[in-house]
């Protein structure tokens, strides 16, 4: 064991001396790896990059695994999503039956093509392991490491790839210093499951590397579904106002994405892309966001310290701290009241509705009523927990089939939170919330009825919204405006592949039997705007600002 450890140490020492190439030759004239003060190494650009083009494309990662809840509804290989976890029709997934692997009964495939490719590339090794642990499947992080161990043992990982992974920053000293932790147990379990000759120390190092460098396995619009590690992404440093994002193009999800005849050779090999969120200047560092960007500044900093061992000093953190301090000074009571409201709402409104007809909905409605006195203070949305709470109320509204509640909360997020919290108009979080908003609108307008929803529910929602100030005609008008806003954002970005999803939505509206005549075109814009302002209980200056900032 000791011999193994010293061999590993000497190997790592040797690696420090050799230079590992993290930048693919194709991007060597665009990107460079260099030392960045107080951050270790980072990736910088060698030339100015326009916002409309992907910066680089990355191939299918070796270390990747889906979270357990997505396994039953997602193709194990091309990751096409076949069902929406929310009670919404959705547009980001394909409705199809998946074929279950006869060996492990865990992996499911959209077709033979994906099953065969996956089998030969990696699944035949994992399948045997999964069979043994069917009822106690290891976490996604462990499965990602397990795949690497299985492939490396069989000589199926190139030296170049292995060097790039094993050379990543692992914070080994800090993590190992936390004592014999559950990470060692994890490494031992992986060694046992894989019946691997690799040392526990080496497997543990792979776990440390995963913990320090992995990112979410992204879907084109519906957020993360697991973990993945790409050595280039692992070299990107963090900012809470990032200038890039990791994008999964829509075409990579369709069955057989590697073979589609319409794609170029380069696109076929693309699994994900790094895309800019704004124009990037020559020499600028590419910065990724490691955490949920809408969380309040103290919580962001605490999470980054806990998981990545640094204190974030990005421009956004500094601004948020200053703004929060100014608010406390100018409105001490208001800050305290907001804090109390936020805590009470988080305590009383569950993340998941366990049973229909409970009193969570009335608690959500009470929380919404109480939130209205804070609506005139934008600092509260930009520095506090407001987005998290509004999203929780939205999801609760959807799960309780109260789409009117979901809609108002989502509109607050769309008009008040997102424009101020994000760089660029096409970050995945923002795009996700706009698609979600359109899904909710389509349910209320009966353009796409969510499964299990009765006409009488839809009538009740529209009545409640009309009482609040928004008629169905107003909603149709806003649906068109929000669609156009989404279209504009995507057309001006490198995520243009998502435009086809907006186009599908527009088509739905054209054929909707519920509408008949195209009334939204006829109705006065002024009425629709007045309706929205009144429904959101916003005063004129803030409403004007919200309209301006959304570009709506
Ligand atoms: C995914 S790695 C990024 C690449 C790393 N700098 C390297 O040299 O390999 C994450 C680690 O980089 C450092 N880091 C990333 N962003 C940082 C930031 N904004 N400020 C300080 N350190 C940062 C932290 O040590 C963090 O755990």
3-state secondary structure 301-318: HHHHHHHHCCCCCCHHHH
Give residue 139's Cα distance to chain centre.
19
178 alpha carbon – ligand 1 mean position (Å): 20
In the predicted model, is pLDDT for residue 490 greater than 70?
yes
**Region at 35 (left for phi over 0; alpha for psi -120 to 50; beta for the rest):** beta
Mean pLDDT over each residue of the chain, to the nearest integer: 87
Contact call for residues 409 and 365 (beta carbons, < 8 A) = no
Place 472 in a pLDDT band, splitting at 50, 70 and 90: very high
Task: Name the residue with the closest Cα to ligand 1, atom 19.
Answer: 238
120 alpha carbon – ligand 1 mean position (Å): 35
Distance CA 132, CA 355 (A): 34
For residue 380, give Cα distances in angstroms to 186, 387, 416: 41, 10, 10
Residue-wise pLDDT for 341-371, tens only, equals 999 998 888 777 666 656 888 888 889 989 8
Predicted local confidence at residue 68, as pLDDT: 95
Give the count of beta carbons closer than 10 Å to the beta carbon of residue 174.
11
Q: What is the mean pLDDT of residues 290-318?
A: 93
Distance CA 237, CA 294 (A): 18
Contacts of 511 (CB under 8 A, 6+ apart): none
432 alpha carbon – ligand 1 mean position (Å): 27
Residue-wise pLDDT for 422-459, tens only, equals 788 888 888 888 999 999 999 999 988 777 778 888 99
Distance CA 47, CA 299 (A): 35
In the predicted model, is pLDDT for residue 481 greater than 90?
yes
DSSP lists the bridge partners of residue 56 as: 274
Distance CA 423, CA 199 (A): 44
Residue whose pair of structure tokens reads 């990982």 in the numeric block: 157
238 alpha carbon – ligand 1 mean position (Å): 7
Atom of ligand 1 minimally distant from the CA of 38? 21
What length does the chain have?
Answer: 552
> Could you tell me whether strands 237-238 and 287-288 are parallel, antiparallel, or unpaired per DSSP bridges?
parallel
Atom of ligand 1 minimally distant from the CA of 239? 19
Instruction: Dig out the tokens for 319 from the structure.
Output: 């601004």
Give percent helix, percent strand, percent coil of the chain, each to the nearest 5: 55, 10, 35
Place 15 in a pLDDT band, splitting at 50, 70 and 90: very low
Query: In this structure, what are the phi and psi dihedrals at residue 81, rounded to the nearest 5 degrees?
Result: -95, 130
Residue 238: its H or E element: strand 237-238
Q: Is 548 exposed, middle or buried (0-12, 13-18, 19+ CB in 10 A)?
A: exposed
21 alpha carbon – ligand 1 mean position (Å): 18
279 alpha carbon – ligand 1 mean position (Å): 23
Predicted local confidence at residue 429, as pLDDT: 84
Distance CA 200, CA 197 (A): 9
What distance separates the 2 farthest-apart alpha carbons in the chain? 80
Residue-wise pLDDT for 503-522, tens only, equals 888 888 755 445 545 554 55
Predicted local confidence at residue 509, as pLDDT: 74
Contact call for residues 199 and 206 (beta carbons, < 8 A) = no
Enumerate residues lining ligand 1, CB below 6 A.
38-42, 169, 171, 212-213, 234-235, 237-238, 308-310, 312
Residue 371 or 284, more confident: 284
Residue 203: its H or E element: helix 200-213
3-class secondary-structure state, position 288? strand
Check if the interface score ipTM surpasses 0.85: yes
Give the count of beta carbons closer than 10 Å to the beta carbon of residue 34.
10
Contact call for residues 485 and 430 (beta carbons, < 8 A) = no
Residue whose pair of structure tokens reads 């008008």 in the numeric block: 477
> Could you tell me whether strands 215-218 and 224-229 are parallel, antiparallel, or unpaired per DSSP bridges?
antiparallel
Atom of ligand 1 minimally distant from the CA of 234? 1
Distance CA 350, CA 360 (A): 7
Q: Angle 140-153/124-132 helices, nearest 10 degrees?
A: 130
Give the count of beta carbons closer than 10 Å to the beta carbon of residue 455.
10
Distance CA 440, CA 443 (A): 5
257 alpha carbon – ligand 1 mean position (Å): 33
DSSP one-letter string for 31-56: EEEEEETTTEEEEEESS-B-TTS-SE
Distance CA 528, CA 322 (A): 37
Q: Angle 386-399/360-371 helices, nearest 10 degrees?
A: 140
Residue whose pair of structure tokens reads 């969510």 in the numeric block: 450
Contact call for residues 286 and 423 (beta carbons, < 8 A) = no
Distance CA 458, CA 449 (A): 9
301 alpha carbon – ligand 1 mean position (Å): 14
Domains belonging to the chain, first-starting first, are: 2-288 (3.90.1410), 370-550 (no CATH)
311 alpha carbon – ligand 1 mean position (Å): 10
Pocket test for ligand 1, best of 38, 228, 306, 308 (most atoms within 8 A of CB): 308
- The model's pTM is 0.90
Residue 384 or 146, more confident: 146
Pocket test for ligand 1, best of 228, 237, 240, 241 (most atoms within 8 A of CB): 237
Pocket test for ligand 1, best of 238, 239, 303, 305 (most atoms within 8 A of CB): 238
In the predicted model, is pLDDT for residue 176 greater than 80?
no
């Amino acid at each position: 064991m000791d011999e193994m450890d010293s061999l590993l140490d000497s190997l790592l020492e040797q690696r420090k001396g050799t230079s590992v190439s993290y930048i693919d030759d194709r991007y060597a004239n665009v990107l460079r790896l260099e030392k960045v003060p107080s951050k270790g190494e980072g990736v910088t650009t060698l030339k100015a990059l326009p916002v409309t083009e992907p910066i680089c494309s990355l191939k299918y990662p070796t270390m990747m695994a889906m979270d357990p809840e997505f396994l039953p509804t997602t193709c194990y290989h091309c990751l096409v999503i076949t069902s929406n976890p929310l009670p919404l029709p959705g547009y980001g997934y394909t409705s199809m039956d998946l074929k279950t692997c006869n060996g492990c009964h865990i992996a499911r495939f959209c077709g033979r093509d994906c099953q065969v490719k996956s089998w030969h590339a990696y699944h035949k090794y994992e399948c045997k392991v999964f069979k043994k642990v069917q009822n106690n499947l290891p976490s996604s992080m462990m499965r990602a490491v397990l795949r690497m161990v299985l492939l490396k043992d069989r000589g199926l990982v190139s030296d170049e790839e292995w060097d790039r992974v094993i050379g990543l920053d692992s914070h080994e000293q800090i993590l190992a210093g936390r004592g014999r932790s559950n990470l060692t147990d994890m490494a031992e379990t992986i060694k046992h499951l894989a019946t691997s000759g690799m040392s526990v120390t080496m497997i543990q190092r792979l776990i440390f590397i995963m913990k320090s460098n992995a990112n979410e396995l992204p879907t084109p619009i519906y957020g993360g579904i697991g973990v993945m590690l790409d050595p280039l992404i692992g070299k990107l440093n963090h900012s809470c106002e990032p200038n890039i994002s990791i994008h999964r193009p829509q075409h990579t999800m369709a069955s057989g994405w590697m073979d589609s005849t319409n794609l170029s050779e380069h696109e076929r090999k693309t699994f994900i892309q790094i895309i800019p969120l704004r124009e990037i200047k020559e020499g600028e560092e590419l910065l990724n966001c490691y955490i949920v960007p809408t969380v309040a500044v103290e919580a962001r900093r605490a999470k980054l310290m806990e998981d990545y061992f640094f204190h974030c000093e990005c421009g956004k953190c500094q601004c948020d701290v200053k703004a929060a301090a100014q608010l406390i000074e100018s409105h001490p009571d208001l800050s305290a009241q907001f804090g109390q409201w936020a805590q009470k709402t988080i305590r009383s409104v569950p993340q998941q509705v366990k049973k229909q007809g409970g009193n969570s909905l009335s608690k959500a409605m009470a929380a919404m009523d109480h939130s209205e006195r804070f609506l005139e203070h934008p600092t509260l949305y930009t520095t506090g927990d407001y987005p998290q709470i509004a999203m929780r109320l939205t999801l609760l509204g959807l799960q309780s089939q109260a789409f009117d509640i979901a809609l108002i909360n989502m509109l607050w997020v769309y008009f008040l939170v997102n424009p101020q919290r994000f760089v660029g108009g096409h970050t995945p979080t923002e795009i996700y919330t706009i698609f979600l908003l359109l899904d909710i609108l389509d349910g209320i307008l009966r353009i796409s009825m969510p499964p299990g929803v009765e006409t009488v529910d839809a009538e009740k929602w529209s009545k409640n919204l009309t009482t609040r100030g928004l008629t169905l005609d107003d909603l149709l008008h806003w649906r068109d405006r929000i669609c156009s806003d989404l279209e504009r954002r995507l057309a001006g970005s490198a995520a243009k592949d998502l435009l086809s999803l907006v186009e599908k939505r527009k088509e739905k509206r054209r054929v909707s039997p519920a509408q008949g005549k195209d009334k939204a075109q006829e109705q006065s814009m002024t009425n629709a705007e007045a309706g929205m302002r009144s429904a959101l209980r916003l005063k004129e200056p803030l409403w004007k600002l919200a309209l301006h900032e959304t570009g709506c």
